[in-house]
Amino acid sequence: MAQIGIDIDQAQVFLKSGQLVGIPTETVYGLAGNALDPEAVALIFETKNRPSFDPLILHTSALERVGDFVENFPEPLRELAEKFWPGPLTLLLPRKSIVPDLVTSGLDRVAVRVPNHPLTARLLTSLDFPLAAPSANPFGYISPTQALHVEAQLGDKIPYILDGGACQVGLESTIVGMEEGQVVIYRLGGLDISEIEKVVGKVKVKDHSSSNPAAPGQLDSHYAPRKPFILGNIETLIAQKKAEGVDFAVLSFSESFERIPRERQIVLSQSEDLHEAAQNLFAAMRKLDETDVEVILAELMPETGLGRAINDRLRRAAAK
């Protein structure tokens, strides 16, 4: 099984030898490999069982290093980088040929971000190459927000996991690019749209696609537990499943439900705090998926702020 620790030098040794390492970020844990080594990148896809048409995000330590692997930096996107890096923002930028085709799935733009986590920041600073790092989970499953989540899923396939504690944001990064001079959001995430629009004005939000995505994390079914995941009015769903004699668990925003065992329900935020709900989402989905129920019942969040990004993940978890 993978060793879990905080030894940056050890992680560096594995990465320099072409192996993969679990790394913490403020969003979710990543499965990291040398982004400029095609064999290491191929190992990421193999380890995750990820389809090669789904691009990866390239992680680096600072805005100043991005010029090593992108051709140019459109001014609106640079303004966003200066404002929000390090942080839960990924930018789609024209790539240089040094970036392997496999990283971008053959597309002419590469997804780049500077993560905001002290351990990973020190690791990235110590390396002379960026890291390709999708979420450290089997493809399509719930993203990991703790080192033990990574170990449980991929511990027999990687040698080392940097333990940075629980992720503080809990949702993947917001992915932003440009089309015909317009700033476009390709994936809703941990950086709220309203914050982006304060910097660059009105943006366009793209629907995610079911195949050949233009950016990472755009597939219809994703972030999903293995048990059936049903969205709707929870009280109605509870009555329906009780009538059907189906064992269920409940994932709610702020309300708990009487006559349902405590271990079969999780409230994301009793105070209705969407940031807290986002931080707790994936760990809650994972915990309920590990219970002995037949289905998981859930409800949408308010469609404001981070609620939009949370709802994106909930809808995709239910898409199967």
pLDDT of residue 211: 41
pLDDT of residue 206: 87
Output the domain CATH number for residue 256: 3.40.50.11030
Residues 64 and 149 in one domain: yes
Mean pLDDT of the 174-179 span: 96
Element of type H or E holding 80: helix 75-84
List beta partners, residue 30: 23, 135
Query: What is the number of structural domains in the chain?
Result: 2
In the annotated binding site for ATP, the residues are: 50, 59, 135, 143, 187, 223
In a domain, 176, yes or no: no
Which residues are within 8 A (CB) of 272 and not within 5 positions of it... i.e. 6 or more apart?
A: 253, 254, 302
For 163-276, where are the E strands, in sequence order? 174-179, 182-187, 204-205, 229-231, 248-252, 265-267
Mean pLDDT of the 219-231 span: 81
Residues 63 and 150 in one domain: yes
pLDDT of residue 219: 55
Q: pLDDT tens digit string along 119-166?
A: 999 999 999 999 999 999 998 899 999 999 999 999 999 999 999 999
Q: Is 75 helix (H, G, I), strand (E, B) or coil?
A: helix
Residues 116 and 49 in one domain: yes
pLDDT category at 221 given cuts 50, 70, 90 is low
Q: Is the pLDDT of residue 314 over 80?
A: yes
pLDDT category at 222 given cuts 50, 70, 90 is low
pLDDT category at 209 given cuts 50, 70, 90 is very low
Q: pLDDT tens digit string along 293-310?
A: 999 999 999 999 999 999
Across the chain, what does the average pLDDT equal? 94
The better pLDDT of the pair 199, 258 is held by 199
Mean pLDDT of the 99-109 span: 94
pLDDT category at 213 given cuts 50, 70, 90 is low
Range of the domain at 118: 3-170
pLDDT category at 319 given cuts 50, 70, 90 is confident
Please give the radius of gyration of the chain, using alpha carbons only, rounded to the nearest integer: 19
In a domain, 222, yes or no: no
Residues 25 and 94 in one domain: yes
pLDDT of residue 7: 97
Residues 110 and 9 in one domain: yes
Residue where one domain finishes, among candidates 170, 205, 239: 170
In the annotated binding site for L-threonine, the residues are: 27, 113, 133, 173
In the annotated binding site, the residues are: 27, 50, 59, 113, 133, 135, 143, 173, 187, 223
